Amino acid sequence: MLEPTTAAIAPSASAATPESPETSCHLLNDKPAGVRTAVLELRVRNHPGTMSHVTGLFARRGFNLEAIVCVPVGDGATSSMLLLVSDEPRLEQVERQLAKLYDVLTVRQRPELTREFFTRLSPIAANGAPAQLP
């Protein structure tokens, strides 16, 4: 589930380091459209390891994670992370587990964002079109 099938920009776990301030988008699973998804926004401490903590949580708790976008905020002390996840009954449990991570400062849902937000960022998923930030 967590093996990247469609790798976009900078798919490394250190994408959230201050040394790599570029926006990164990582599409993890090319699920067919129609699967109900939700988007979570995390504000996280920006340092090496944060991405591992977040993605590792999804792996070991058996939650679905389809895509990640991570952008440094302001001076880069924190990052904003957008996660495309399955909208299943366990979503609330996912949010609570994320909120327990020390490096995760806030967790909230972004109901106005959809799967298309992520696919537009991915040059491969968008048929070779260059990545564009909204």
Partner 1 sequence: MKITGANLLRTLLERQGIRTIAGIPGGAILPFYDALHCSSIRHILTRHEQGAGFIAQGMARVTGKAAVCLTTSGPGATNLLTAIADARLDSVPLVAITGQVAQSLIGTDAFQEVDTYGLTLPVTKHNFLVRHPAELLDIVPLAFQLAESGRPGPVAIDVPKDVQNATIDVVDWPEPGRPVPVPQCSDELIETLARRLTTARRPVLYLGGGVITAGASDLAQALAHRLSAPVVCSLMALGAVPPDDSLYMGMLGMHAAKGTNFLLEEADLLLAIGARFDDRATGKVAEFCPQATIAHIDIDAAEIGKIKPAFHSLVGDAADILARLLQRLTPQQRPAWRARATELRAAHRLAAPPRANEPLHPVNLCRFLGEILPPDTIVTTDVGQHQMWVAQAYPVRQPRTLLTSGGLGTMGFGLPAAIGAALALSPVEGLAAPGRRVVCVSGDGSILMNIQELATLAELDLPVAVLVFNNAQLGLVRQQQELFYGRRYEAAHFTAVPDFAALARAFGIRGLRLDPRSDPLSELSAALAAPGPCVIEIPIHEHANVYPMVPPGAANRQMIAEPELASAHA
Closer residue to partner 1 (CB): 5 or 93: 93
Contact 39, 84 (CB under 8 A): yes
Closer residue to partner 1 (CB): 50 or 79: 50
Residues at the interface with partner 1 (CB under 8 A): 48-49, 52-53, 56, 60, 92-93, 96-97, 99-102
Tokens representing 59?
Answer: 């792996």
Neighbouring residues of 27: CB distance < 8 A, sequence distance ≥ 6: 4, 5, 6, 7, 8, 66, 67, 118, 119, 122, 124, 125
Minimal distance, residue 76 CB to partner 1, in Å: 16
Minimal distance, residue 96 CB to partner 1, in Å: 4
Closer residue to partner 1 (CB): 46 or 119: 46
Contact 83, 52 (CB under 8 A): no
Minimal distance, residue 6 CB to partner 1, in Å: 24
Closer residue to partner 1 (CB): 1 or 99: 99
Minimal distance, residue 102 CB to partner 1, in Å: 4
Question: Which whole-number Å values give the CA distances from 46 to 16, 35, 68, 96, 97, in the listed order?
Answer: 6, 31, 15, 20, 19
